[in-house]
């Protein structure tokens, strides 16, 4: 359900944001601005069928033999996971985490969905709004208010489909989302940035 919704969302977002989406797809959630000793920390939760698990998701960086490495440490309920990979972008970090610990796949996919990167790379303004129908499905998109997490202020984007709600706080040119919430009839995934330090 989540993956199919994400695919539909990505297709719709690409259509809504063209031609910006083509540029965004070549540089989604780049982490190249991070230096040594950077920290990106989220508080996360995953509710499914009424049961909620809470935890943390943290990316830190360190130089190792001249190579900048990214380490992910995550916890969700009783599940924990740690993985280190050369720093490239969040897709590389995300895939490394998913391969290491499948329990975090839905959260990681939601946090770093390409859709949010597309939003963050546009010039949407507060009050921007759009409604559309595609293949019999209804979609609405709106920038509703300012939002601040970890000392960074962005804009809250709300995307609605027939069966799913997506909210994200994103800042233009910010390499990561400030917050994300995905909810449907039996599942809610949330992630909120609580610490952000680009390192040196």
Residue by residue, DSSP assigns 29-59 as TB-TT--TT-EEEEEEEEEETTEEEEEEEEE
- Residue 39, pLDDT score: 94
Q: Which helix (H) or strand (E) holds 104?
A: none
Question: What is the pLDDT at residue 101?
Answer: 65
What's the domain range around 154? 2-197
Q: What angle do CA 92, 98, 101 make, to 5 degrees?
A: 135
Q: Answer yes or no: pTM beyond 0.85.
A: no
- Structural domains in the chain (count): 1
Longest pairwise C-alpha distance within the chain: 55
pLDDT digits (tens, 9 = 90+) for 124-176: 788 888 888 878 888 888 899 999 999 999 999 898 888 889 898 988 777 68
CB atoms within 10 A of CB 107: 25
- Give the pLDDT confidence score for residue 81 in this predicted structure: 85
Q: What is the pLDDT of residue 129?
A: 84
Helices (H), the chain: 2-17, 20-25, 90-100, 105-111, 114-120
3-state secondary structure of 148: strand
DSSP 180: E
Q: Judge contact between 184 and 5, C-beta under 8 A.
A: yes
Predicted local confidence at residue 119, as pLDDT = 59
pLDDT at residue 29 in the model: 54
Residues of the chain falling short of pLDDT 70: 1-32, 88-101, 114-123, 175
Q: What is the Cβ-side half-sphere exposure of residue 46, based on CA atoms within 13 angstroms?
A: 19
CB atoms within 10 A of CB 17: 20
User: Residue 14 has what pLDDT?
Assistant: 35
CA distances from 180 to 31, 52, 61, 168 (A): 18, 16, 23, 4
Share the mean pLDDT of the chain.
77
């Amino acid at each position: 359900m989540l993956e199919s919704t994400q695919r539909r969302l990505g297709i719709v977002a690409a259509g809504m944001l063209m031609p910006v989406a083509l540029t965004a797809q070549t540089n989604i959630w780049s982490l190249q601005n991070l230096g040594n000793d950077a920290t990106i920390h989220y508080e996360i939760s995953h509710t499914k069928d009424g049961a909620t698990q809470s935890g943390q998701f943290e990316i830190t960086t360190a130089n190792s033999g001249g190579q900048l490495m990214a380490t992910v440490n995550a916890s969700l309920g009783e599940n924990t996971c740690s993985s280190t990979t050369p720093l490239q972008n969040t897709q590389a970090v995300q895939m490394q985490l998913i391969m290491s610990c499948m329990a975090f796949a839905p959260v990681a996919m939601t946090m770093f969905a390409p859709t949010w990167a597309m939003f963050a790379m546009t010039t949407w303004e507060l009050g921007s709004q759009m409604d559309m129908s595609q293949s019999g499905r209804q979609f609405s998109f709106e920038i509703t208010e300012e939002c601040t997490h970890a000392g960074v202020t962005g804009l809250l984007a709300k995307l609605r489909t027939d069966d799913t709600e997506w909210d994200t706080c994103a800042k233009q040119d910010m390499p990561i989302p400030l917050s994300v919430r995905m909810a449907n009839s039996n599942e809610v995934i949330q992630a909120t940035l609580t610490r952000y330090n680009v390192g040196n």
